Amino acid sequence: MSQSINKNEWPLWEVFIRSKAGLDHKHAGSLHAVDAKMAIENARDVYTRRMEGVSIWVVESINIIASDPEEAEALYEPAADKVYRHPTFYNLPDEVKYM
């Protein structure tokens, strides 16, 4: 993976916010910061101003490995005709709720 880095620019970080205890961290966006500590502080100021979260994860964007869009066909389309992988063909007993 090639990524050109402008030396005058601070590294980019991806921000993940947990909105409340028990829930997963969700990707909220990205920001610039010189190190992890500043990234956390900046994330707090940029992404939790309206009580969006109770916990923050940050990770430098260059450390994220993304799947290749060119391979999307091979990666995802084979799943399209396999609806039986969804558990929709079972008759659920009435006693089982919240499924």
Partner 1 sequence: MTEQHLYNYCLRMGDNALILSYRLSEWCSNAPMLEEDLALTNFALDLIGRAQAILKYASELQGGVKTEDDLAYRRGEREYYNHLITELPNGDFAQTMVRQLFISAFEFYFFTELQKSTNVTLSAIAAKTLKEVKYHLMHATDWVIRLGDGTAESHKRMQDAINYLWMFTGELFEMDLIDTVLIEKGVGVDLMLLQPKWHRHIQQVMYDATLLIPEEGFMQTGSRKGIHTEYLGHILSEMQYLQRTYPDAIW
Residue 15, beta-bridge partner list: 29, 58
Q: Name the minimum Å distance from CB 15 to partner 1.
A: 11
Q: Name the minimum Å distance from CB 51 to partner 1.
A: 13
C-alpha neighbours within 13 Å on the C-beta side of residue 17: 20
End-to-end Cα distance, the chain: 41
Which of 31, 53, 56, 58: binder of partner 1 (CB under 8 A)?
31
40 binds partner 1 (CB under 8 A): no
Tokens encoding 57:
């994860």
45 binds partner 1 (CB under 8 A): yes
Which of 23, 41, 62, 72: binder of partner 1 (CB under 8 A)?
41
Tokens encoding 16:
């993940």
42 binds partner 1 (CB under 8 A): yes
SS3 category, 26: strand
d(CA 4, CA 7) in angstroms, rounded, equals: 9
57 binds partner 1 (CB under 8 A): no
Residues that bind partner 1 (CB under 8 A): 10, 31-34, 37-38, 41-42, 44-46, 49
